[in-house]
Amino acid sequence: MKINTIIPILMCTWMAQACAWDEGPFVPKKAKPGPDTNGVNIPEPTLLADTVAFRAQIVPIFTANCVQGCHNPHHEFLDLRPPVAHEQLLTEGAKAPYVNPTLPKESILYKHMVGIYTPMPKDLEKLPQAQIDLIYTWIAQGALDN
């Protein structure tokens, strides 16, 4: 075999192995899932043992932190006023569903609360972790209108 034939074969073999080892030099690396998402360190949510009541426990959080500022009838995506909050979160909001009981950490609502997406409440302090845990538990329990 001539050297002109061996060198290209070796180069192709080397490049194929390099691609198999690290996805190749021209393939962008994918972010690995982990606790630090979008530059935000997210504490592991606590799943509470007690049943969470949407009307008695979740709606007051929305009323105090969300409705007054943005999420009212004038908001283009989501109205969180007490009479319509549940329907808006599950079916009627512009990007509904905002909650995913099967994968609560993948819920749009949860990702906003912890700061993966635009942090909510916007321009205010993040909700206390106890309230985030309460909302997370409500989502994980099926996001019931109870």
User: What pLDDT is recorded for position 103?
Assistant: 94
Q: Which residue has the higher pLDDT, 10 or 67?
A: 67
Those residues with Cβ within 8 angstroms of residue 37's Cβ, 6 or more apart along the chain or in another chain: 31, 116
Mean pLDDT value of segment 129-144: 96
pLDDT in tens, 29-74: 333 444 445 566 778 899 999 999 999 999 999 999 998 778 888 8
Mean pLDDT of the chain: 81
What is the pLDDT, as a whole number, of residue 37?
Answer: 55
Cα 81 to Cα 146: distance, rounded to the nearest angstrom: 16
| pLDDT for position 32 | 40
Residue with tokens 């989501």: 78
Which pLDDT score, from 0 to 100, does residue 76 have? Answer: 87
Specify the pLDDT at position 40: 63
- Tokens matching residue 55: 């009307």
Q: How far apart are CA 105 and CA 108, in angstroms?
A: 8
* CB-CB neighbours of 51 under 10 Å: 12
What pLDDT, on a 0 to 100 scale, did the predictor assign at position 104? 95
Confidence of residue 87 (pLDDT cuts 50, 70, 90): very high
